Structure 1
């Protein structure tokens, strides 16, 4: 079931906005953003796995 939003953007516009968000004009800043994102994702994944390890629901 698709959810339609009034005034929704096209996929091309959304992708363009995502790309432009990383374009800061300075490689150092863009690199630090990318590095921070990787570290953050690893931390969230680790936390996610530890929380699910503590939940017995759905195990046999």
Structure 2
């Protein structure tokens, strides 16, 4: 009898947590970047070091 009670209790607790999580997720607005915050940053730069490295791979 005690295991049924504990199983039901875990189930109900899980349902409450899931409902609360979905409620919070439904009310939170998605974050959007402002136009001025968007940075077009080129992270790849072909330097002499990289050119030498790529050339060594071909040889």
**Bigger RCO (CA 8 Å, 6+ sep):** 1
TM-score (norm 1): 0.49
Bigger CA radius of gyration: 2
TM-score (norm 2): 0.49
